[in-house]
Amino acid sequence: MAAMRLEPSGERPALGVCTRVCALKRDGVDRPHRGRGLGGRPAGLPIRSVIGRCGEHWTISPIEDRININCLLVFGGHATIKEKETTAMFNVVRIICLALALLSTTFAHAEWPEKPIRLIHNGPPGSTADNIARLVADQLSARLGQPMVVDGRPGASGTIAADAVARSAPDGYTLFLGTNSVFAVNPYLYDIRYDPFAFAPISQVVAAQNMLVVRPSLPITNVSELIAYAKANPGKLTYGSSGTGSMMHLSGELFQRATDVSLLHVPYKGGQPARMDMLGDNLDLLFGDLGSIPLVLDGKLRALAVTGPEREEAMPDIPTMQEAGIKDYSVMGFYLLVAPQGTPDTVVTKISNAVAAMLQDPGVRQNIVTMGNQPASDATPAYLAAAIKADHEKWGKVIKEAGISVK
């Protein structure tokens, strides 16, 4: 905001209230005055000296003739000086005022971040969300120069955590690490209080695909055989998920629509209980996370395909669904970083750049792979915004067509 000038009319400035005290000596008499700036007096009065405080004590003495001095401290210390008649001493004072104003502005607009940052996520302690959040917090703390505090808010499929962030100040000190389901699926299943698009996208952090596995006792060794078996036995094959509306569930619904088969959905409270039922031959198949890999390697489950567009590095011999003949089938879950809507672009860019640098670190990448995920290929805000929009449209259509409801 530009600094104001006190015009000869004698009116005082309308903006900014300076609590500093200045003393005017007029005709040899001290006249203390608490005003709206140094020299806050009617214009045009003859003065012989001015003593004021503006960060440092400075004195103008003597001042010749009649001088209008207006050194106004307005919202951040911007100062201007208007003069009718000047002397060399006055020019010195002018430089001092401007220097002090610039110093005040520097302190008023210190570079972000100045204090610890809170990272909210929607998982319980020890969960994948919690582990990824702590990895991100450690890495970004080092790169941004401020501590990052991890704050888990589990429950209601992420809506509690997302709502807390949506209501936070858009100052860059509250961030949300969540899954794409919070923005692409929850709006269609729950009565949420937040707008899924009322956030500032920062970066996709990690991506994860599911793996289609079957119990080994079934006479099925590939996707084509699964489709044929399902068509010959409509509604008899059961598939599990970590819950209604979960990515495991939606993967199965998308598969049914892409292949024109009918499967029976069995929701569980998590993916691990579903896998355990498969080991007991109580469940036929699962579009599960990569936690199934050890069981596949041990021969306890049979992997048919991965759901993403590319093969999984840890299981290079397992084809993608598209390679198995299901055109355009792709399901990827991912963890993403967002801030409240209105967070300054400079802050968003700084965080996004830090995430991109983090994802280039070999140690970080290996840590992410060990968790059963993949480092994001693009950490830009634009890429994340497009991914959220695409998933929101895609899963909204599947949920509506399948008539999925959690009520």
> Poorest-confidence range of 24-33, 95-104, 154-163?
24-33
Say which residue, 331 or 40, is predicted with more confidence: 331
Which residues make up the CATH 3.40.190.150 domain(s) of the chain? Answer: 117-209+332-402
- Indicate whether 83 pLDDT > 50: no
Q: What is the pLDDT of residue 314?
A: 85
**β partners of residue 210:** none
E strands in 323-402: 332-340, 374-375
- Indicate whether 85 pLDDT > 50: no
* pLDDT, mean of residues 57-68: 37
> Poorest-confidence range of 52-66, 143-157, 202-216, 306-320?
52-66
Say which residue, 368 or 23, is predicted with more confidence: 368
Q: What is the percentage of the chain residues whose pLDDT exceeds 70?
A: 73
Which residues make up the CATH 3.40.190.10 domain(s) of the chain? Answer: 211-306
Q: What is the pLDDT of residue 67?
A: 35
Model confidence at 100, pLDDT cuts 50, 70, 90, reads low
Asked if 20 contacts 64 with a C-beta cutoff of 8 angstroms, the reply is no
Q: What is the pLDDT of residue 272?
A: 87
Model confidence at 36, pLDDT cuts 50, 70, 90, reads very low
Residue where the block lists tokens 């968790």:
371
Tens digits of residue pLDDT in 258-274: 999 999 999 998 888 99
* C-alpha closest to that of 173 among 196, 204, 203, 140: 140
- Indicate whether 93 pLDDT > 80: no
* C-alpha closest to that of 95 among 107, 74, 75, 80: 80
pTM of the complete model beyond 0.75: no
- Indicate whether 392 pLDDT > 80: yes
Q: What is the pLDDT of residue 313?
A: 84
Q: What is the pLDDT of residue 372?
A: 84
Please provide the average confidence, as pLDDT, over all residues in the chain. 81
Q: What is the pLDDT of residue 90?
A: 53
* C-alpha closest to that of 324 among 268, 248, 259, 234: 259
Architecture (CATH level 2) of domain 211-306: 3-Layer(aba) Sandwich (3.40)
Q: What is the CA radius of gyration of the chain?
A: 32
CATH fold for domain 117-209+332-402: D-Maltodextrin-Binding Protein; domain 2 (3.40.190)
Peptide bond into 170 cis (omega under 30): no
Q: What is the pLDDT of residue 164?
A: 96
Angle between helices 247-259 and 381-402 (to 10 degrees): 70
* C-alpha closest to that of 203 among 376, 18, 402, 24: 376
- Which residues contact residue 201 at a Cβ distance below 8 angstroms, ignoring those fewer than 6 apart? 336, 338, 348, 381, 382, 384, 385, 388
